[in-house]
Amino acid sequence: MLLERIQIVTVCTPALAATAEAYAQFLNYAVVERGHIPAELAAVWDAPQMAGRDFLLLQPASKADVYLRLISNAAIDGFAAMKTFGWNSNEILTQDPDAMAERLQSSPFRVIGPPANLSTSKDIRAMQAVGLAEEVIYLTRLPDSGEVAAHLGTAETMVDRTFIVVVGGPDMEAMRAFYRDVLGLPVSEPVGARIRVLSRAHGMSMETSHPLATARLPQHFLIEIDQYPDAATVRPHRQGELPPGMAMVAFTTPKLDALSDRLIADPAAIAAAPYAGRTTGVIRGAAGELIELLEQRP
């Protein structure tokens, strides 16, 4: 497996301070680092216009080393949640999705999915909301025991870490092949699932079934692969910048060299947190999603 664990979810937002405040006040995330994107890191992303942009690095109350990175970037007209290909949803562990849904009613987050048991598993309960950057968050409670808990863990605080990231694209088989054949992950067969927030975003019946598969990381994390409706489009972005919303996900890898022929720019060792001198590079997935790879030290 060339992906080990999720390390950073990157969100580009036109309202940096307000977005950070929303995560701090309502999801109990704390700012642990702030600064400006180094030019050498922007070069690794093949996004030179991001150099010097203000960023904030946030960590959940549990102190898990799975971070949310917010980067200041101007809004793009027409961009909206779940309408474009790429990373769309950040699924976060919670102890009580019903209480969180009530809490978020008076927050900058827009609740788009009330608490409900998943159509694919009655033991899992989740709610969904959209943030100020049009990023979608799931707040999900997993069972305290059993196979799911053993692999993915459970929330140690009311709102804990990211455990699933969701990519949407036009071609299920191409996305499955990428995570299976290029990155070496076990990938499930697709199943039909009622993803009501996706159906609502596209004006479809709430009973519509969308193809869904998962790519399994070694422990505590999954990638969900959704086939998006025909009306979804390529995500717009300005030349030299990261895309808006949920822009990129960073994973640790045991062997960056194994993917050297797929890097979109030269890798580099980055001193800033949370890289701490690790070498990082970026590849692009089958749906256009940006995948940052942080090489783990032995």
* pLDDT, tens digit, 9 for 90 and up, residues 198-226: 999 999 999 999 999 999 999 899 999 99
Q: How far apart are CA 168 and CA 80, in angstroms?
A: 14
* 235: its two tokens: 């995500």
Amino acid (one-letter) located at 157: T
pLDDT confidence of residue 118 = 75
Alpha helices in 132-246 (DSSP H): 147-152, 172-177, 196-201
Average pLDDT for 241-246: 98
Kindly list the structural domains of the chain, giving each domain's residue range(s) and its CATH number in brackets, ordered by start. 5-72+246-295 (3.10.180.10), 86-227 (3.10.180.10)
CA-wise closest residue to 296 among 251, 239, 233, 252: 252
Q: Answer for the pair 49, 240: CB distance below 8 angstroms, yes or no.
A: yes
Q: What is the pLDDT of residue 119?
A: 61
Mean pLDDT of the chain: 95
146/180: higher pLDDT: 180
In tens, the pLDDT along 104-122 reads: 999 999 999 999 987 666 7
Residues 30-78: tens digit of each pLDDT: 999 999 999 999 999 999 999 999 999 999 999 999 999 999 999 999 9
pLDDT at residue 120, as a whole number: 60
pLDDT, mean of residues 120-132 = 88
| Residue for token pair 């309502």 | 26
Q: How far apart are CA 244 and CA 16, in angstroms?
A: 13
Contact, 4 vs 251, CB < 8 A? Answer: yes
Position 298 pLDDT exceeds 90:
no
* pLDDT-derived band at 144, boundaries 50, 70, 90: confident
Sheet harboring 5-13: ordered strands across?
30-36, 54-59, 67-72, 5-13, 245-253, 290-295, 279-284, 268-269
User: Can you read off the two tokens belonging to residue 69?
Assistant: 């990175």
Residues 6 or more apart whose CB falls under 8 angstroms from that of 187 comprise 176, 179, 180, 213, 214, 215, 216, 225
pLDDT digits (tens, 9 = 90+) for 82-101: 999 999 999 999 999 999 99
Quote the pLDDT of residue 238: 97
Provide, rounded to the nearest whole percent, the portion of the chain with pLDDT above 70. Answer: 98
Average pLDDT over residues 168-190: 98
